[in-house]
Amino acid sequence: MGLGDGYRKEADFIRSVILPKMEGCYSSKANREKMSLYDLVAFAVLAHKHFGGVYKRAYRLLIEELKTFPKIRYNKLVERLNRWGY
């Protein structure tokens, strides 16, 4: 099991935990985005847990190197995180 598998399993666990809680909150506009709201929340949780809340470091490792989440531009990621309040 590599480093990427551990992050991938943890992200899948976070998605499964938040899925029932967010069913009513998931707007139709969020469906049109490349990175789903569930992925966004999982990314934010992993960034705070493992990278001390530094999104740039988490972006470089989780998205660019390990490809745990869909490829999205960094500024769009931060824009969505700010929009949803993470």
For the residues 3-9, what does the mean pLDDT come to?
Answer: 84
- pLDDT of residue 21 exceeding 80, the answer is no
For the residues 4-10, what does the mean pLDDT come to?
Answer: 88
- pLDDT of residue 86 exceeding 80, the answer is no
How many domains would you assign to the chain? 1
- pLDDT of residue 62 exceeding 70, the answer is yes
- Using CA atoms, how far residue 44 sits from 57, 58, 83, in Å, is 12, 9, 13
Spatial contact of 15 and 8, defined as CB atoms under 8 Å apart: no
CA dihedral 64, 72, 19, 14 (to 10 degrees): 20
Range of the domain at 62: 3-84
Please give the mean pLDDT across all residues of the chain: 86
Residue 52 gets the label, from left (phi > 0), alpha (psi -120 to 50) or beta, of left
